[in-house]
Amino acid sequence: MAIHAKHGPFDAAFIVGDVFEKRETLSDDERAFLDGSSQMPMPTYFFFGTHIPADVQARIPTDQRGPVELAPNLNYLGSAGVVRVHGVRVVFCGGIWDQKDNTDWHAREPPKEDTDDWQAWQPLDTPEASCDALRELLCHPALTLGEARAPPPPTDPGSLQQARAFQYAQAAFEFQCERDAPTLAARPPVDVLLTNAWPLGMDALSEAPKPEACSTWGRAPIARLAESCRARYHMACAPAVDEHGAFFEREPYEHPPFAALPPPDVLPITRFVSLARAANSAKRRWFTALRILPRAELAGAPRPSPLTASPLWMVPAAPAPAPRAVPKRHMPAEVPEGGRRRRRKVQAVDPDQCWFCLSNPSLEKHLIVSVGTECYVALPKGQLPVSSEATTPVPGGGHVLIVPIVHTPSIYAAESSAALRREMRAWRDVLAKCYAAFDAVPVSWQVVRRGTRAGHTQTQVVPLAAEHAAAFDAFMTEALQREHGAWESDAVAATWEKEDASFTPQDRQDYCYMEIGDRKRLLLLRSERFNLQFPRETLAAFLDMSGRADWRAC
């Protein structure tokens, strides 16, 4: 009250940290505020710190949007959320955080469409509950960072393979940045971020006086939240280092600009302040006042000085181990039996001429549906189903390609990785769920044949009415027996995609692998001749669409 009288008047007050003592019953002072016999001199807002008494929790509805008035001038915001208070957009998040949290907080979540207030009301009294609430909070449109994720640099600068893989991944990243631009441009701005913990790295790059041992206070989940909010002000409290708490105000820091967007009118600058415990006997600063100007008045304002780059996520780097010299050797898949290298009869297509490489300037990007970390999904130039026909089970046709970002002839080649295979499998699972909504199953195939110009593998996926799956499986088997022999056994096919399967590199050089719904079919191509379009042509014949067997005719 004295602060309000001496330095005010203020429109509102916000409290960070725990408002109620950690005890089973409320104190007399706490009860006085709740029953209204004592009142705050201005509208006061608080959120879940690390606990909330059961008596208070019982007063909180779980289906409300906006602050809950527990008593005159005493309002509860919730456990985590986004609210507008007196025209100011406030993001807040309480909870308990694990210092050794191993969550990949760099992962991107798809944004919600609802830009209104959102709040979580459940107590965040475990690290698991806190992380779950934060994940949902990060889906708010005001916090979205888009789906693009910058690739890590090569670990071996001398590796041509890693350099090429990085080039392809960087091209995919830049392409996704362009797709993210409209979403990022529409982000509602955040004015104030309130947390009960520090973000990881907040003490880095700062010349301001720091509390002792503060380099251990940062938490990765809060860094992810601060990175997403880009708030003008971030108010926090330090962990309970002693009964007084700690005060720290660092220099303002600037967030990196969003790629593919023009420079903003208002610079993405955050001022971070950590407050000590209220009315502590050590007289450490426990309050601060803000004058939040309308954003229109900040347009074109100069950069403050001093100003640092964003310190988020910065931690002392561990010394890197000395690199070991590894003798160069040929991969088994590149050396035939007998020790002599097989002469290549056909020159494979290079990445700069490859239809499927994102780094190719001539790539038809309008066909791309989504770009992931290891692969992307695209529409084929000539899909097998006819999009305009009612007999097509999935609207629009549903025929897609799942393509590795790295230029590789096979998902089992040296350029590929287990991460690529997992992501491609995940896409097939997602497509199966999509097709199931239309009573259809996926028919997918990979054909790998070394010594051809097909230097960039892909998986084709076509929806087929579920009622026809068994009949097509029999039709495919009969056609295969006429032209190429029999499938491998069901037991062999079932283990083909397992990372620990006992297949040799020679087995994985040339193959045709298909899935018809939940049926797995494998043919190891030991003969010299195989029609790379055999799966598509056979499916076209089964559907009585032989005129569309060749994609160039579609």
Q: Give residue-wise pLDDT tens across range 363-399.
A: 888 899 999 889 999 999 889 998 777 778 999 999 9
Mean pLDDT of the chain: 85
CB 267 within 8 A of CB 232: no
Is the residue at 75 inside a domain?
Answer: no
358 and 290 fall within a common domain: no
- The total domain count for the chain is 2
pTM for this entry: 0.59
Do residues 275 and 265 make contact, with C-beta atoms less than 8 angstroms apart?
no
Lowest-confidence range among 150-154, 282-286, 390-394?
Answer: 150-154
Do 90 and 198 sit in the same domain of this protein? yes
Question: Which residue, of 309, 332, 357, is where some domain finishes?
Answer: 309
Query: Does 258 map to a domain?
Result: yes
Task: Provide the domain limits for residue 115.
Answer: 82-144+187-295+303-309
Residue 430 in any domain: the answer is: yes
Same domain, 254 and 394: no
**Residues 352, 284 share a domain:** no
Per-residue pLDDT at 1: 53
Q: What is the C-alpha R_g of the chain? A: 30
Same-domain pairing of 103 and 233: yes
Peptide bond into 9 cis (omega under 30): yes
Amino acid occupying residue 222: I
CATH number for position 423: 3.30.428.10
Task: Among 135-144, 333-342, 458-467, name the one with the lowest average pLDDT.
Answer: 333-342
- Three-state SS across 426-476? HHHHHHHHHHHCCCEEEEEEEEECCCCCCCCCCEEEEEEEHHHHHHHHHHH
Q: Contact, 420 vs 427, CB < 8 A?
A: no
Q: Which secondary-structure segment (H or E) carries 194?
A: strand 192-195
Could you tell me which residues are beta bridge partners of residue 199?
219
Q: Are residues 116 and 215 in the same domain?
A: yes
Query: Bigger pLDDT: 486 or 248?
Result: 248
pLDDT at 158: 61
Predicted pLDDT of residue 2: 62
> Which of 303, 214, 232, 300 shows the shortest CA–CA distance to 265?
300
On whether both 272 and 372 belong to a single domain, the answer is no
Q: Name which residue leads in pLDDT, 242 or 354.
A: 354
In a domain, 151, yes or no: no
Amino acid, res. 137? L
Reduce the DSSP state of residue 309 to 3 states and report it: strand
Phi-psi region of 544 (alpha: psi -120 to 50; beta: other; left: phi over 0): left
Residue 476 lies in a domain: yes
At position 480, the amino acid (one-letter code) is L
Are residues 484 and 414 in contact, defined by beta-carbon separation less than 8 angstroms? no
Least confident of 5-9, 253-257, 369-373: 5-9
386 plus 488 within the same structural domain = yes
Query: What pLDDT score was predicted for residue 325?
Result: 44
Q: What is the mean pLDDT of residues 148-174?
A: 73
Q: Whole-angstrom Cα distance, residue 131 to residue 147?
A: 20
Inside any domain, residue 498: yes
> What is the per-residue pLDDT for 341?
44
514 or 544: which carries more pLDDT confidence?
A: 514
Average pLDDT on 328-338 reads 39
103 and 212 in a single domain? The answer is yes
Taking a C-beta distance cutoff of 8 angstroms, is the pair 369, 383 a contact? no
Same domain, 409 and 483: yes
Average pLDDT score over residue span 308-332: 55
Tell me how many helices (H) and strands (E) the chain has: 10, 22
Whether residue 272 sits in one domain with residue 349: no
Average pLDDT in the 510-532 region? 88
Question: For residue 172, is it within any domain?
Answer: no
Would you say residue 122 lies in a domain? yes
Same domain, 291 and 349: no
Q: Where a domain ends, among 309, 336, 352?
A: 309
